[in-house]
């Protein structure tokens, strides 16, 4: 794959085998070599990471990439995860029209109720955000190894490559980033809610300590999950969402 395969303004830095593309991207930022919309990809990650020390299976054939984005305000940088989730839903819906793709708070993407994409975001250097994105294109981990059952695009009938998935994501992502930078979070919040799984339904949020249950009432102005617990609204900034009454429509 060459840089010309990605639409402007993206610039590809393709690697073969790395520990984690997030670490590679962060290193660029710390060396002062970051630029907006640089995409670091790897054929394979040996140390793909998830939340709180979890690993992310990263076999060849799946998409593992990290984007460098200018994010001068750290307090709103997390909103870029919602921007990317909206773009992943749109890109995958276009590639696999027969499957239903939904966003799961905060920035996972589900296909037919099973997890197909995840993200991990980290600030880096001065004013940069590294947005790590993994999409299960060719293979998904078995159910007993993961918190949320997963699927891969090939299982849904997709016959293309990870490179084509990345190009489709980039095409969908650029205009949403531009919109977010110009108009703020409100339009992105609405776009995300339109694509959300389980809105208004009972959910379970597993926190570091304990579990909260309630109705998924929406997002606040920061992107926090609003959980309706018998009329009391609780704001959640971090946690793993589960849908007790699976499958999700």
Partner 1 sequence: MSTPPIQAELVRTLAELLDETNLTEIEYDTGSLRIRVARQGVPVAAHLPAAMPAVAAPPVSQPAAVAHDDASHPGAVTSPMVGVAYLSPDPASPKFVEIGQAVSEGQTLMLIEAMKTFNPIRAPRGGKVVRILVTDSQPVEFGEPLVIIE
Site for partner 1 in 42-71 (CB under 8 A): 51-54
Q: What x/- string results for residues 187 through 226 when contact with partner 1 is judged by CB under 8 A?
A: --------------------xxx----------xxxxx-x
- Interface residue with partner 1 among 237, 244, 246, 247 (CB under 8 A) is 237
Using the minimum distance from each CB to partner 1, give the nearer residue, 26 or 114.
26
- Element (DSSP H or E) covering residue 42: strand 38-45
Name the minimum Å distance from CB 154 to partner 1. Answer: 26
| Residues 118-137 interacting with partner 1 (rule: CB under 8 A) | 119-123, 129
Phi, psi (deg, nearest 5) at residue 99: -100, 150
Picking from 91, 93, 60, 66, the residue whose alpha carbon sits closest to that of residue 81 is: 66
Residue 235 sits in the site that holds partner 1 (CB under 8 A): yes
Contact 134, 165 (CB under 8 A): no
The answer to whether the CB of 244 falls within 8 A of the CB of 202 is yes
Task: Quickly list H helices, the chain.
Answer: 21-30, 74-77, 79-95, 162-183, 186-194
Name which of 70 and 238 has its Cβ closer to partner 1.
Answer: 238
Site for partner 1 in 89-118 (CB under 8 A): 105-107
Q: Judged by CB under 8 A, which stretch of 39-47, 74-82, 162-170, 178-186 contacts partner 1?
A: 74-82
Please, what is the minimum distance in Å from the beta carbon of residue 168 to partner 1? Answer: 22
What's the CA gap between 213 and 191, in Å, rounded?
A: 25
CA–CA gap between residue 114 and residue 98 (Å, rounded) = 15
Please name the residues in contact with 183: beta carbons below 8 A apart, sequence gap of 6 or more.
Answer: none
Q: How far is the CB of 179 from partner 1 (least distance, A)?
A: 19
Query: Smaller CB distance to partner 1: residue 66 or 96?
Result: 66
Q: Which of 64, 29, 246, 161 is nearest to 55 (CA)?
A: 64
Residue of 29, 38, 40, 77 that binds partner 1 (CB under 8 A): 77
Measure the CA–CA gap between 124 and 69, rounded to whole angstroms: 10
Is 81 a residue that touches partner 1 (CB under 8 A)? yes
Residues that bind partner 1 (CB under 8 A): 51-54, 74-75, 77-79, 81-82, 105-107, 119-123, 129, 207-209, 220-224, 226, 233, 235, 237-238
């Amino acid at each position: 794959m060459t840089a010309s395969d990605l639409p402007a303004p993206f610039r590809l830095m393709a690697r073969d085998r790395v520990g984690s593309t997030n670490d590679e991207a962060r290193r660029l930022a710390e060396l002062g070599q970051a630029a907006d919309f640089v995409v670091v990809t790897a054929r394979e990650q040996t140390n793909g990471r998830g939340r709180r020390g979890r690993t992310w299976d990263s076999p060849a054939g799946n998409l593992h990439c990290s984007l460098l984005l200018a994010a001068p305000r750290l307090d709103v940088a997390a909103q870029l995860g919602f921007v990317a989730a909206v773009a992943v839903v749109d890109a995958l819906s276009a590639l696999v029209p027969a499957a239903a793709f939904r966003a799961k708070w905060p920035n996972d993407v589900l296909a037919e109720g099973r997890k197909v994409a995840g993200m991990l975001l980290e600030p880096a250097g001065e004013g940069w955000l590294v947005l790590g994105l993994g999409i299960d294109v060719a293979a998904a981990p078995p159910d007993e190894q993961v918190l949320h059952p997963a699927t891969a695009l090939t299982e849904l009938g997709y016959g293309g490559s990870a490179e084509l998935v990345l190009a489709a994501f980039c095409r969908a992502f650029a205009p949403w980033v531009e919109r977010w930078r110009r108009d703020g979070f409100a339009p992105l919040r609405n776009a995300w809610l339109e694509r959300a799984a389980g809105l208004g339904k009972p959910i379970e949020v597993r926190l570091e300590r304990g579990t909260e249950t309630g109705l998924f009432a929406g997002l606040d102005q920061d992107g926090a999950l609003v959980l309706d617990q018998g009329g009391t609204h609780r704001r959640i900034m971090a946690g793993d969402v589960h849908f007790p009454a699976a499958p999700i429509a």
